[in-house]
Amino acid sequence: MLYMPFDELYIFLVLPAIIFATWAQYRVTSSFRKYSKQGSIRGMTGAGAAQAVLNDAGVTGVRIERVQGRLTDHFDPRANVIRLSEDVYDSPSIAAIGVAAHEAGHAIQYAGAYFPMKIRSAIIPVTNIGSKMSIPLVLIGIMLDMTGLINIGILLFGLVVLFQLITLPVEFNASRRAISILDKSGVLTGEEIPASRKVLTAAALTYVGALAVSLAQLLRFMTIAGRRR
């Protein structure tokens, strides 16, 4: 009787969320691939676009570096560095410019002490512990029939879900800032803006997918714990 509800919950709760998250990941990859083939009229590179967005916002002191990998672009607030992948840094494509501008949007958030970003940064240490320990604690608690251990695991996993929930407004806000500045500054033309927005919207859906999977998993664990009581 222990594994029957466990398997049912996975099939009917978690699996649909995983399918959605997989679709979201495919969409961002296909959108980036499509618009990577479409060069911008001004011909500015991703690195140049990131710098232009920072300049427009009056943000200084942020380095822009190249990093290996595909779609490994990110902003590191600890080093105050925007790291752009090889497909973005030197590329003048609409996709590359959108991605680079999005990361510059995060740098602008950091410089302006954007509240959701401050919260996310503050809970990262606890979230890292939760992401590593929560599921093992739940599983061990189930095997050893230790409700307290299951509850601790659920609590830690809840912090991971909270982190992902806070991440959504951070990501959407960064994209809105990026698109607004790209349009206002003329880095992209009015005809190019919709294509860049599609890339960033697809990227944002991956965060929605990740949150959906985690919420489904959290509900699954809570239901299992409830049934055992």
Q: Is 191 a catalytic residue?
A: no
Q: Which amino acid is at 153?
A: G
- Identify the helix (H) or strand (E) that includes residue 6: helix 3-9
- Identify the helix (H) or strand (E) that includes residue 84: strand 81-85
Residue with tokens 């990501």: 171
Nearest CA-CA partner of 142 in 225, 75, 76: 225
| Whether the Cβ atoms of residue 21 and residue 76 lie closer than 8 Å to each other | no
**From 103, 171, 191, 192, active-site residue:** 103
CA distances from 215 to 17, 103, 117, 222 (A): 9, 26, 21, 10
Q: What is the 3-state secondary structure (H, E, C) of 34-58?
A: HHHCCECCCCCCHHHHHHHHHHHHC
Give backbone dihedrals phi and psi of 188, rounded to 5 degrees, phi first.
Answer: -115, 150
The conformation of residue 161, written as its DSSP 8-state character, comes to H
Residues belonging to the active site: 103
